[in-house]
Amino acid sequence: MNAGLDAGYGLAVRWSLAQAPEGIEDELREYVVGTSLARFMFLDGLAFKVWRMVPGEWFEGTYVFDSAHERQAFEESFVPGAAQAPGSGMIGSAPISIERFEVVAIAEGPAGFRRGAGPGTV
């Protein structure tokens, strides 16, 4: 095993949907698929981003970067304006957590990674 290989450097940004406006889930889906997806496809150092949601509970952007430096650069540019980020504006509040994490390994199954809209897309 090569101890020098790292799977990735993660960052999770989560918003609460508990007090969000009615219909926010559809608005978030539309924004992610129509705007945000294209923006992050070209972010230097980003291996991948996943948008996750439990309707009525929380919405999250989960990022995995190729290096700790790239994650830090993104975090330093995002955190100061997090309360004004598009997601914050739609939801009506700032993220409730911004958390770094280690990606220990990534397994891509036979179906491969899907790009684009998920099953809840309007």
CATH of domain 8-103: 3.30.70.100
Q: What pLDDT score does 2 carry?
A: 43
Give dist(CA 91, CA 88) in Å, integer. Answer: 5
Q: What pLDDT score does 1 carry?
A: 39
Residue scoring higher pLDDT (80 or 106): 80
Largest separation between any pair of C-alpha atoms in the chain: 50
90 backbone φψ class: left, alpha, beta (φ>0; ψ -120 to 50):
alpha
Q: What pLDDT score does 5 carry?
A: 53
Q: Of all residues in the chain, what percent carry a pLDDT higher than 70?
A: 91
pLDDT tens string 12-33: 999 999 999 999 999 999 999 9
The predicted model scores a pTM of 0.88
